[in-house]
Every structure is written in C-alpha cells, then in structure tokens.
Amino acid sequence: MPGSFLIARVIGIDIRVHFSWFLIFGLILFTYSDPNGGLFSQVRPTWSDQKLVIVAGIYAVLFFLSIVAHELAHAAVARAFRMPVSSITLFLLGGVANLAKEPPSARAEFLMAIAGPATSLVIGGVGLGIAQVADEVVLRQAALDPVGVVAFYLGLTNLLLAGFNMIPGYPLDGGRVLRSVVWGIVRERTRATRVAARGGQVVAGLLVLVGAWRVFVLDETFGGLWTALIAYFLYNAASASLQQERVAGMVAGVEVGPLMSRQFVAVPRNMSIAELVDGHMLPNNARAVAVVDAGRLRGIVSVADLRKVPQAEWPVTGVQTVMTPASAIPSLSPTSRLMTAIERFGSTDLPLLPVVEDEVIVGVLDRESVLSYMRMREVLGHRKP
C-alpha cells in the first residue's frame, strides 16, 4: 500500500504501517485517556491524567497487535493453500493482508475468511476471562486494577470487531464467507464475487443511513461521520472488486507473450545518465529503459528515476546508481496470464515490466499497451481469444 513503511517481519511476512494509522491510534488514545469524559475516566474517575494516558497507550498498542493477529490468521490459512502473502498493512480502518493471488477454491476462501474473526473471538474471550479473574485479584492487589480494565475493553473490542467483520458485505470477512458459499453453490467465482460485492455496496448504503441517523437524531456528529467514512471505504472496495472481476473476465485466457514487445531499448549499467538520455531515451521516445548485463536484467531506469538527479550531474552519474534494481521489479514470463501482469502493474509505478525467460530478458510489456488492448476488447466485445 503506497504511503506505508515496514516496522517488523513475522514468519516471513512484512508488517507495515500506513501513515493514516497514526490518526486512528491518536483517536483511540484520546477517546480512552481524555480525563473529561474518556472511557477510562468514566470507569476509573480516581486515576490521574498520567495514568489514564499510559493505560490508554497500552490498550491502543494491544488492540493493534490483536488486529495483526487477526490478519496473521488469514495469512496462515492462505499459506496453507499455497497463496503467497507479501505483507500485512495497518491503516485507518484496521488491517489488511495482501495476497499475491485469489483463493483457488470456495473451501480455501471460506477457511481463510473465517480464520480472522475466529481469532478475534478467541482474543475477546481470553480478554474478558482475564478481566473476570483480575476483578477478583484486585481485591487483594489494587495495583493490578489497570490489567482488568485493559483486558475487559480489549476483549469487548475484539468481540465487536469479529461481529462487524462478519457482516456479509465484500470485502469484509463476512462478505468473503458469503462469496465462498455462493461460489460453492454456483461453481463460478465471478458470479459469487458479484453477489458478495453488491452485498458490500448495500451494507455501505445502510451504514450511510446509520451515520445520518447518528448525526441528525442522536446528535453524535463525530460518530456519524466516522460511520459514513467506513461506508465510503467499504463501498469503494466493493466497487473495486467488481471492476477487478470485470477486467479478469475481459482478459481471461490471454497471455503476456502476444502483447509484449521484443523490440526494446537496453543499455549497460555503466552508461552515464547523459548518454542514456541523449542516445537512447529521447531518440526512441522511451519512458523507461532496461539495464542489462550479458542479456540478464539488472534493472530498469525510468524518467521518474532520472528526475532524482540534477541535470548538471547527469554526465558523471551512472545509470546503475538511479535504476530500480531487478530484485525490486515484478517480472513476467511470456506464458504469464495478462491478469497477473495487470496485478503486478498495480504494485509498481514503472511504465513497463520485463518479460524474462530462462533468466534472460526477451521482451517488455508496456502499461499503455495493456490499457490500449483492454479498451479495444471492451469496444469489440469480451469474446474469448
């Protein structure tokens, strides 16, 4: 997800934080620590301001760790069905596990979707159980009082999280469960996705009504606007899923080979930027150029890369210092599905992707060529190739 950064790596999965996460973290911290009406001050009015902030901070950290656990449960099941998981990203509305491909079956979809809410239910039950025990211990050890308070709210929040996620609107977990059920019945993932995504749009519409009711009837302006924000993200995500399935249907069966260009500009990595621009990019109107060594791809240098270096330094700066290295570029093969290429274009800003065969670059796939092909298919109809 653009705008995120790496904070940890767990069982080979990157844990990333989006900048929007700091907004929700600060909101939770304020909601629980505010001495004038905050949740903790209401149940423990004798706590000092400092203690309220510290305990609220601990709660906020544990809450987001529970979200990571929720997403790791999805990831563990996904890996069991050989679906690669590249990262987990915490953002404004919670967390998301980034899958490299769609589930291979309705059963895999169901088990992966249900794993997250099940984990939240377990965390919720454990939290409430600890809170119950802590309440009894506090009678003898008053210093443990914050443990019971944090455990209670952590448990309650996770139960609510599990319940919300099971709402049957895609891409919520409940929507994925719905898709798996429909998929299992009709034996067609595309139709199942349409049903679940439409459900997501309906849920988003209902959330808008709930938000309006909270604002205009209950006079809960902030809560109503927050509900509307959730509805906005849910509707957009459901609509994006419909669009993705439409594109997948449009390019089903199409491979990269026929669309790739075998005539491409390639330069050695010891070439200067000035030589690259004057001798290759401008004459060929190339927005990006492959950097090769004995036929093997070493990287790609684009116009965006060149802008990072002042023009006065172009004659003395080598291409290899600004190129995107091959290890950071999602490559394709001539037999790769076009849908795979579209997904990989979505993970990079590069205008082209290398097509590699037997570790040798044999062509490039241009983003504009893919878009032009899709527009042509849309105009002429979605007939199978």
How does pLDDT run across 275-308, given as a tens digit for each residue?
999 999 999 999 999 999 888 899 999 999 999 9
Alpha helices in 81-144 (DSSP H): 106-138
Q: Which of 174, 167, 241, 179 is nearest to 207 (CA)?
A: 167
- Distance in angstroms (rounded) separating the CA atoms of residues 381 and 249: 11
Enclosing H/E stretch for 302:
strand 296-302
What is the CB-side half-sphere exposure of residue 85 using CA atoms within 13 A? 26
CB 114 within 8 A of CB 173: yes
CB 367 within 8 A of CB 261: no
Burial of 218 (C-beta count, 10 Å sphere; 0-12/13-18/19+) = exposed
Identity of the residue numbered 65: L
Q: Which of 252, 241, 210, 239 is nearest to 227 (CA)?
A: 210
- Distance in angstroms (rounded) separating the CA atoms of residues 241 and 192: 11
Where along the chain do its domains lie?
Answer: 4-250, 266-380
Give per-residue pLDDT as tens, 112-152: 999 999 999 999 999 999 999 888 776 567 677 899 999 99
In the chain, % of residues over pLDDT 70 = 97
- The SS3 assignment for 7 reads strand
Other CB atoms within a 10 A radius of the CB of residue 244 amount to 17
What is the CB-side half-sphere exposure of residue 332 using CA atoms within 13 A? 27
pLDDT greater at residue 217 or residue 383: 217
Enclosing H/E stretch for 73:
helix 49-80
The whole-number pLDDT of residue 83 equals 87
- Tell me if the domain spanning 266-380 has CATH number 3.90.1150.10: no
Both tokens of residue 39? 């949740």
What's this model's pTM, rounded to 2 decimal places?
A: 0.73
Cis peptide before 45 (omega within 30 of 0): no
The whole-number pLDDT of residue 384 equals 53
Enclosing H/E stretch for 102:
none
Both tokens of residue 192? 């199942």
Give per-residue pLDDT as tens, 17-43: 888 888 888 989 998 999 988 899 999
Give per-residue pLDDT as tens, 208-246: 999 999 999 999 888 888 889 889 988 998 888 888 878
- Distance in angstroms (rounded) separating the CA atoms of residues 23 and 138: 34
DSSP string, 313-359: GGGGSBGGGTSEEGGGS--B-TTSBHHHHHHHHTT---SEEEEEETT
Residue 158's pLDDT band, with cuts at 50, 70 and 90, is very high
CB 318 within 8 A of CB 270: yes
Phi-psi sector, 381: left (phi>0), alpha (psi -120 to 50), beta: left
Length of the chain: 385
**Angstrom distances, CA of residue 319 to CA of 290, 330, 349:** 10, 20, 18
> Has residue 169 got a pLDDT over 80?
yes
Tell whether the torsion through CA atoms of 64, 66, 72 and 74 is positive or negative.
negative
Other CB atoms within a 10 A radius of the CB of residue 198 amount to 17
Highest mean pLDDT among 3-7, 116-120, 140-144, 253-257: 116-120
φ, ψ for residue 87 (rounded to 5)? Answer: -165, 165
- Distance in angstroms (rounded) separating the CA atoms of residues 49 and 42: 13
> Has residue 170 got a pLDDT over 90?
no
> Has residue 265 got a pLDDT over 60?
yes
- Distance in angstroms (rounded) separating the CA atoms of residues 277 and 203: 52
- Distance in angstroms (rounded) separating the CA atoms of residues 217 and 230: 19
The whole-number pLDDT of residue 97 equals 86
The whole-number pLDDT of residue 99 equals 81
CB 333 within 8 A of CB 256: yes
As a whole number, the mean pLDDT across the chain is 89
In the chain, % of residues over pLDDT 90 = 54
Average pLDDT over residues 335-352: 86
